[in-house]
Chain A
Amino acid sequence: MALDVAQAPSTGPARRTGRVPRRRPPGGGVRRGERLAGWLFIAPVVTILGVFLLLPILMAVWVSLTKWNGQGSPFQAGVPMAGASNYTRLFTVDGLARQDFMTSVRNTFYYVLIVVPTQTALALVLAMVVNQRMLKGKSFFRTAFYFPSVTSSVAISVVFLFVFANSGAINSLLGLFGVHGPQWFADSRGVLHLLLGGLGLVNPDAPPSALAGHQMLGLSWWDWLSGPSVAMCSIIALVVWTTSGTFMLMFLAALQNIPQQLEEAALIDGTNRWQRLRYLILPMLRPTMFLVVTLGLIGSWQVFDQIYVMSQGGPAKTTLSPAYLSFRTAFKDFDYGSGAAISFILFGIIVVMTLLQRFLLRERDGAK
């Protein structure tokens, strides 16, 4: 049962023109009660959200302009100021801060690049398979696919630490096929590097100096082209496994909203399954697809829990993400200003990515 999203149309006009419902007693007494009640009802939410979400952001903006190290209050006089250098340092100044930040951006970029399409595609496939009318045990399958999403990310990380351990389940499974699995969490080699090496195009141990010798923003071109590391791949597997279920439900809801008559009409017209898929179902799923990709982008750029529990940024910083870097910079290096700056830049990245994605997907839409 899908609830209709009914945007309230009555706010504007009702307030402006003071339209009074016909049956209300005159005098505005009830109206006043409403106003007071309205504020009272909303007070707890506004207070708590204001104090613990809105206010902190303002405080953090201030702290990101300082070099506060955690001692004393950041709001008293005498706190060392950094101005915008906490931000510019991450882009223009050659040093460890920029290197770490760019490394985290690179890592997360590849992570998002793989996770979002994979989980979207998997969710769609699962939804379409589960949605078939004559399927028995539909509810069982739907439960099975959705269950990982409701569990604690920490608990799942523990399970996957075991599954991807050196002598763990995955390597045992690969061993059954005669493949010697890597030491997942110790392997910092980039997948793209391995691929290029495997295809014989490049020697990973001696990359061409055109790539390894020149730098952009603190990392050599060769480093930028590393792809996710093997360790990152195990985290990618975990996340795709966990989140596909939620998106599958969204696709399922959308699929079930496709009127049956449309499908039957298409059948009568003699279309085969692939044509139905391409010209009927996918276009009708566009809004949901859009939503799933947006949510996927926003969620995957923020990856934190799994990194904290499983790898803490290692091996060799290949699972570092901006969120984890921000946390570590603040709480381990006592550089709260820089940590806050990193988190705001991350916010900016997410906003830009979301807008970019909206722009790209909307353009192809045309009429909508």
Chain B
Amino acid sequence: MKRPVPGTAGIATLAAALLLALTGCGGGFNNNKPAQQQSGPASLQVLMASSGDAETKAVQDAAAAWASKTGNKATVTPAQDIAQQLGQAFAGSNPPDVFYVDAARFADYASVGALLPYGDKVPDANDFYESLRKTFTYQGKLYCIPKDFSTIAMEINTDLWTKAGLGTSDVPTTWDQLTTVAQKLKAAGVNPIAIGDTRDRIGAFMVEAGGWIVSPDGTKATANTPQNLQALQYVQSLLKGGLAQYPKALSAGWAGEAFGKGQAAITFEGNWIKGAMQSDYPNVKYTVNPMPNGPKGAGTLMFTQCWGISAKTKYQDAAIKFVEAMTAKDQQLSFAKAFGVMPSRQSAKDQYTAQFPTDKAFIDGAANGQGPVNAPKMDSVLTDFDAGLQQLATTDPQTILQRLQTNTTAAIGG
């Protein structure tokens, strides 16, 4: 491939001039000044990560109701890949005004200044569970209000349970009992457990053993501890003994799908499984039970998202009012009914338990639930951890944990 040497200096000069001009004007990027506030009726762009049609519809209806009541406009759009879309949007000059922020990515957004810390402007912020508020606090400031939360619990398929000759008193409450029960299920020709192949499920066992990826204040890596090792070794024993399967081995997209199709008697999933079971597998009877206790005791994982407000929004007051409306007690209860999440307000707990008595195990999880890792730049580390967990059946857990420790230290320590 011939490449004649460029001749004219004019071209180079032109290019250089163009470059300088563009860097000078730099129109697309804003510097980090707060945006000029606009008065008058607001027009909010709301970006959500929907779990399904039910959630999309519920949020759009609620937004429309708020809009007509206050005379503003609110357009709700479900995202295809909210992490990517928000990432690109933050780099641009026109991000959405209000959006879901997943707890796992919260610290990333907060640390780059993309979020408005409006927690102190919400009058009854203390009504929200403290652990949830802590998840969304960065450098001492409450950045956003948690919109709901879910925990992991143990679901048991009633029919498959009785088929193996087990009854209500056999519901396992410890790891050892879990193993015993699983062996009985296997002997009866039933796949005992379907468990998701990510830290978002296996991590529950780590919590039950008394360990976690980072220290409680999120500043030190605590991956390589005997407690975590014990947990991973336990899960590995289930996998190796054929007592537990990953969803892909059961040709399912997630453990709940395998559970719904009757391919496993036990699964560990969160509240969202209720909606899925109701719409896709309505004939399956199942019970929701607390996670079995580990060596340390009870433990589960908590998932939550908050209503983030962009630091560049032109309608700060309207956005805050919108969030307050979306997290009002009654609104939270109606969302709970629509798509199976739990209200993040403590004052709503009793009403919720009264309306959904079968979800007691889920909401009790708030007491011992571990929130997601709240440190910036951990996303790729955790994805790597998941990659290791996918091969847990054939890898030494020590190796996986060591790698997690190294990567976590590199990301948050020092």
Contacts and interface: CB of A to CB of B under 8 A. Distances in A.
B391 A316 contact: yes
A166 B90 CA distance: 38
B31 A55 contact: no
A205 interface: yes
B31 A183 contact: no
A333 interface: yes
B83 interface: yes
Contact of B384 (A72, A74, A96, A315): A96
- Give the one of B112, B114, B387, B410 with max A CB within 10 A: B387
Nearest to A312: B81
A333 B379 contact: yes
B113 interface: yes
Interface string A45-85: 00000110011001100000000011111111000000000
Given A70-B87, A331-B84, A331-B87, A51 B387 contact: no
A142 interface: no
Contacts of B83: 332
Given A72-B31, A183-B251, A331-B87, A54 B15 contact: yes
Interface residues of A, number: 36
Interface residues of B, number: 40
Given A54-B15, A71-B90, A314-B387, A96 B381 contact: yes
Contact of B30 (A72, A99, A186): A72
Contacts of B23: 73, 75
Interface string B358-399: 000000000000000000010111001001101100100000
A353 B32 CA distance: 43
A205 B23 CA distance: 54
Contacts of A50: 14-15, 18
Contacts of B29: 72-74, 76
A76 B26 contact: yes
B15 A55 contact: yes
A74 B88 CA distance: 14
B354 interface: no
A166 B83 CA distance: 28
B407 interface: yes
A69 B32 CA distance: 13
A166 B381 contact: no
Contacts of A95: 406-407, 410
A92 interface: no
B65 interface: no
Contact of B90 (A70, A76, A100): A70
A316 B390 contact: yes
Contact of A96 (B91, B394, B410): B410
Contacts of B391: 188, 316
A241 interface: no
A71 B381 contact: no
Nearest to A7: B2
B108 interface: yes
A334 B110 CA distance: 13
A186 B83 CA distance: 23
A72 B410 CA distance: 26
B15 A333 contact: no
B365 to A, nearest CB: 29
Contact of A71 (B114, B384, B390, B394): B114
B248 A71 contact: no
B407 A332 contact: no
B249 interface: yes
Given A54-B15, A95-B410, A315-B390, A100 B384 contact: yes
Interface in B1-42: 14-15, 18-19, 22-23, 26, 28-32
A282 B337 CA distance: 71
Contacts of A75: 23, 26
B387 A316 contact: yes
Contacts of A76: 26, 29, 31
A167 interface: yes
Contact of B380 (A96, A204, A331): A96
Interface string B223-265: 0000000000000000000000010110100000000000000
B153 to A, nearest CB: 26
Contact of A205 (B15, B249, B394): B394
Contacts of B87: 70, 331-332, 334
A317 B387 contact: yes
A188 B390 contact: yes
B117 to A, nearest CB: 15
Interface string A25-55: 0000000000000000000000000110011
B84 A332 contact: yes
A51 B23 CA distance: 12
A72 B108 CA distance: 15
Nearest to A315: B390
- Give the one of A51, A58, A70 with max B CB within 10 A: A70
Contact of B18 (A55, A70, A329): A55
Contacts of A334: 87, 90, 108, 112
Contact of A73 (B15, B31, B113, B251): B31
B384 A99 contact: yes
A74 B381 CA distance: 25
Contacts of B31: 72-73, 76
Contacts of B30: 72
A183 B31 CA distance: 49
Contact of A333 (B251, B377, B410): B377
B389 to A, nearest CB: 9
Contact of B251 (A74, A167, A205, A315): A167
A183 B248 CA distance: 7
Contact of B19 (A58, A99, A100, A166): A58
A220 to B, nearest CB: 10
Contacts of B406: 94-95
A183 B114 CA distance: 40
Contacts of A329: 380
A183 B251 CA distance: 8
5 contacts: A75-B23, A204-B394, A317-B384, A331-B88, A334-B108
Given A51-B18, A205-B394, A316-B391, 11 more contacts: A58-B19, A72-B30, A73-B23, A95-B407, A96-B410, A99-B384, A316-B388, A317-B387, A333-B377, A334-B90, A334-B108
Return the 8 tightest CB-CB contacts between A and B, nearest first: A186-B248, A73-B29, A70-B91, A75-B23, A166-B251, A316-B387, A73-B26, A96-B407
Interface of A: 50-51, 54-55, 58-59, 69-76, 94-96, 99-100, 166-167, 183, 186, 188, 204-205, 314-317, 329, 331-334, 336
